[in-house]
């Protein structure tokens, strides 16, 4: 555990954090002391203090990959076949009427992104294709909530609001 303050140190020429640290009761060590570290980009470097580690590099936390590949059922009776590629690109085909696609069939090209709080979002451009009778297109976004995809954005009417994985 660390408790300290930020300030600009003219002698170091960088932002520094100085404060006190103490081991928390997870392991057997029960040490404590003072520590001063300088911030430069994504790296903290020890300036002073009795602490064995001398540098820390920021790692960008990211939720483990959430694979959306599969078959999904929509709340408006459609079936969506989603392919989530390793580069976080996403493709789907959605077909109305339990998969027949006679009323609408759409395709989407998009991507999956991860926010700093562990959230997973999918966004992309969709187009109706001639299997169904609809001829719309637009941009749509979904977020993962409790394993479902829930619509959180649309620029024009996209009927589906929730997708539930079925395989």
64 found inside a domain: no
> H or E element: which one contains 97?
helix 96-99
User: What is the pLDDT, as a whole number, of residue 62?
Assistant: 45
65 found inside a domain: no
Q: What is the pLDDT confidence band of residue 3, given thresholds at 50, 70 and 90?
A: very low
Closest CA to 165 of 84, 89, 106: 84
Q: Which two tokens stand for residue 97?
A: 């009427």
Which of the given ranges, 15-24, 60-69, 154-163, has the highest pLDDT on average?
A: 154-163
Pair (83, 136) in one structural domain = yes
Q: Is the pTM of this model over 0.85?
A: no
Which of the given ranges, 8-17, 20-29, 105-114, has the highest pLDDT on average?
A: 105-114
Which domain does 97 fall in, by range?
A: 70-165
Pair (135, 82) in one structural domain = yes
The count of structural domains within the chain is 2
85 found inside a domain: yes
Q: What is the pLDDT confidence band of residue 45, given thresholds at 50, 70 and 90?
A: confident
Pair (101, 47) in one structural domain = no
């Amino acid at each position: 555990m660390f408790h300290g303050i930020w300030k600009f140190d003219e002698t170091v020429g960088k932002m520094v954090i100085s404060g006190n640290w103490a081991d928390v009761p997870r392991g057997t060590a029960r040490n404590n002391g003072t520590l001063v570290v300088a911030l430069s980009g994504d790296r903290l470097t020890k300036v002073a203090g009795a602490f064995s580690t001398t540098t820390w590099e920021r790692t960008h936390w990211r939720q483990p990959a959430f694979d959306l590949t599969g078959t999904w059922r929509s709340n408006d009776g459609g079936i969506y076949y989603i392919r989530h590629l390793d580069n976080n690109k996403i493709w789907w085909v959605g077909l109305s009427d339990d998969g027949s696609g006679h009323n609408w069939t759409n395709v989407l090209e998009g991507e999956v992104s991860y926010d700093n709080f562990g959230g997973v979002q999918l966004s992309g451009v969709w187009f109706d294709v001639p299997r169904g009778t609809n001829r719309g297109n637009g941009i749509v976004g979904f977020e993962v909530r409790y394993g479902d995809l829930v619509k959180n954005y649309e620029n024009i009417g996209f009927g589906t609001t929730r997708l539930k994985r079925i395989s």
